[in-house]
Amino acid sequence: MSASKEMYQKLAKLAVVRGVNVQPNQPLVITASVRDYEFVRMVAKEAYTVGAREVIMNWTDTELGKLNYTYQSEETLTDIPDWKYDMVKREHDLGACYLRINSDMPGALKDVDQSKVRAYQVAYSKKMKDLRKYTMNNEGQWCVIGIPSVEWAKVVFPELSEEEAFEKLEDAIFMTSRVTEDSDPLENWRIHDANLVEHARKLTELNFKQLHFTSELGTDLTVELVDNHVWIGGGDKTPKGVYFDPNIPTEECFTMPKKTGVNGIVYASKPLSYSGKVIDGFWFRFENGKVVDFGAKQEEESLK
């Protein structure tokens, strides 16, 4: 951490109070890298301060994950034990909320057999299939936030030294997360959410038939929208009425496309960090809502 401790404490409080909005006697489940233990402690303290029942940790380690993918057999990787399912089900039964802290290491798994990664992801997804609705349906609050890492910073700012790149990414994360030294991030997000809701209202009133996307890269994509579609922006609520912000930062307003109404080609303007690999220069061609062709300049295999 190169920014002041107070800035990270503000981000931790924002994640707990505005992000997942931890309720009294509610468990908080945190997923984070072992490298980020200092920030995790700040988050845990904030959670207990507002009355969390317990803070449950899911520690991750990209380097250890790389070793597992390299040396474990596919049979071992895809043998998902029952206790992992039971652990998550207990969290759901207790009404837990979920916070993921991302400090990316883009490309960390570039030399790993992608078929092993895919096999594990499929096996884990099948094992947890009936539990996914908890977060997909917003039955409990959830939030994803980012904090900087040197590896991530060097991908974004390759021309800078490690220290300079880290500080620049750090500044960008705080700025887009609306965390500053001289203002209250909670109030900043109240205003930001209100603005997103207002933008969504105006977009809904326009009642578009379709959207047409073009770019200098060659994007020429039309997306039909369903009748009576509604635009959504800002935070969301659980069935119990608990408000939360699922993404910090975010500038997103979104709506529903017509399933068979997407046609044309779209080119990504930025690289995508996915499953430890960096996919770059990728594109998709759609016909009647289906991808009929795709490609990438880097890590095309990871798109399959």
Cα–Cα distance measured from residue 212 to residue 231, given in angstroms and rounded to the nearest whole number: 17
Tokens of 53: 């029942």
Grouped pLDDT means (10 residues each) for the chain, 304 residues = 84 98 99 97 98 98 94 97 97 98 85 91 95 94 96 93 96 97 96 97 98 97 97 95 97 96 97 85 97 94 82
Torsion angle (degrees, nearest 10) of CA 273, 266, 137, 60: 0
Per-residue model confidence (pLDDT) at position 3? 66
Strand, coil or helix: what is 202? helix
Compute how many other C-beta atoms are within 10 angstroms of the C-beta atom of residue 1: 13
CB 264 within 8 A of CB 288: no
Q: Give me the pLDDT at residue 302, please.
A: 83
**pLDDT, position 1:** 57
Going from the C-alpha of 258 to that of each of 102, 125, 220, 289, 294, the distances in angstroms are: 32, 26, 17, 8, 21
pTM to 2 decimal places: 0.91
Peptide bond into 106 cis (omega under 30): no
Domains and CATH numbers, the chain: 5-187 (3.40.1830.10)
- Region of residue 178 (phi > 0: left; psi between -120 and 50: alpha; otherwise: beta): left
Bridge partners, residue 74, by sequence: none
In the chain, the amino acid numbered 218 is G
CA distance 254 to 26: 30
First CA to last CA across the chain, in angstroms?
Answer: 37
Q: Look at the chain and count its residues.
A: 304
pLDDT the model gives residue 275: 77
